[in-house]
């Protein structure tokens, strides 16, 4: 039986952790707060862009799931 080397185990663990982080981030909603104008504008813009990307991802994931449900 071949077992994984220590560095391979570490690499797999890192990949699994990153995947878990990504899934967690994609399941949480992005709360847009802060001033429209002023010192926090950049942060607000960044959050708006993140919210749009999240919406697009969820839309694509829903279409993907729909395609999986109806194989043709």
Residue 30 falls inside a structural domain? no
Task: Give percent helix, percent strand, percent coil of the chain, each to the nearest 5.
Answer: 70, 0, 30
Q: 58 is in which domain, residue-wise?
A: 36-72
Residue 20 falls inside a structural domain? no
pLDDT, residue 42, reads 93
> Which position has the token pair 């220590």?
6
User: What is the rounded CA–CA span in Å between residue 71 and residue 64?
Assistant: 11
pLDDT, residue 63, reads 86
Number of domains in the chain: 1
pLDDT, residue 38, reads 92
Residue closest to 30 by CA, chosen among 46, 51, 45, 10 = 51
The pTM assigned to this predicted structure is 0.61
**Contact yes or no for 26/51 (Cβ under 8 A):** no
Residue 19 falls inside a structural domain? no
pLDDT tens for the chain, 72 residues: list them.
578 899 999 999 999 999 999 888 888 888 898 889 999 999 999 999 999 999 998 898 888 878 877 665
End-to-end CA distance of the chain: 41
């Amino acid at each position: 039986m071949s077992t994984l080397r220590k560095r391979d185990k570490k690499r797999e663990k890192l990949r699994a952790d990153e995947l878990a982080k990504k899934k967690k981030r994609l399941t949480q909603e992005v709360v847009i707060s802060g001033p429209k104008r002023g010192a926090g504008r950049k942060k607000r813009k960044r959050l708006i862009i993140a919210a749009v990307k999240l919406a697009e991802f969820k839309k694509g994931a829903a279409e993907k799931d729909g395609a999986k449900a109806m194989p043709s």
